[in-house]
């Protein structure tokens, strides 16, 4: 078997890579990762298909928070308090969805 003339052997018989080998290895790794990278939209779609309840819970949480803050700024205290309670419920739903997804992926 012909050895690469760029590779050197240490005293223990292990191969040591020269600088040129590391450059080749780095370019191989970079070209492989560039081909396999997914866009943020593709990642969101993949994650949404795996567990759709997490983004739904995040959306509900954000909606309740924004509407609650809007009500607070307008001086509507009752609606603001109700929205903050909905926000807490939506956060609980999101955490439960996360836990469900973790248990589902473990099986």
Give, for all 107 residues of the chain, the pLDDT tens digit.
445 554 555 555 556 666 667 677 777 776 655 557 788 888 889 888 988 999 999 999 999 999 999 999 999 999 999 999 999 999 999 999 999 999 988 88
Its pTM stands at: 0.61
Q: Does 34 map to a domain?
A: no
Task: Report which DSSP code applies to 9.
Answer: E
Distance CA 64, CA 81 (A): 10
Q: Is 61 helix (H, G, I), strand (E, B) or coil?
A: helix
Give, as one character, the DSSP assignment of residue 8. Answer: E
Domain membership flag for residue 94? yes
Does some domain include residue 5?
no
Contact 71, 80 (CB under 8 A): yes
Task: Count how many domains the chain has.
Answer: 1
Q: Does residue 8 form part of some domain?
A: no
Asked if residues 98 and 53 have their Cβ atoms less than 8 Å apart, the reply is: no
Residue 57, domain member (yes or no): yes
């Amino acid at each position: 078997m012909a050895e690469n003339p760029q590779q050197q052997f240490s005293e223990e018989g292990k191969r040591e890579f020269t600088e040129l080998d590391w450059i080749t290895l780095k370019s191989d790794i970079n070209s492989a990762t560039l081909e396999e990278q997914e866009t943020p939209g593709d990642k969101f779609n993949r994650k949404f298909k795996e567990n759709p309840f997490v983004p739904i819970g995040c959306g509900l949480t954000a909606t309740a928070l924004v509407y609650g803050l809007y009500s607070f700024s307008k001086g509507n205290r009752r609606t603001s308090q109700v929205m903050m309670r909905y926000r807490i419920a939506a956060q609980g739903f999101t955490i439960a969805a996360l836990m469900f997804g973790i248990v589902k992926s473990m099986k």
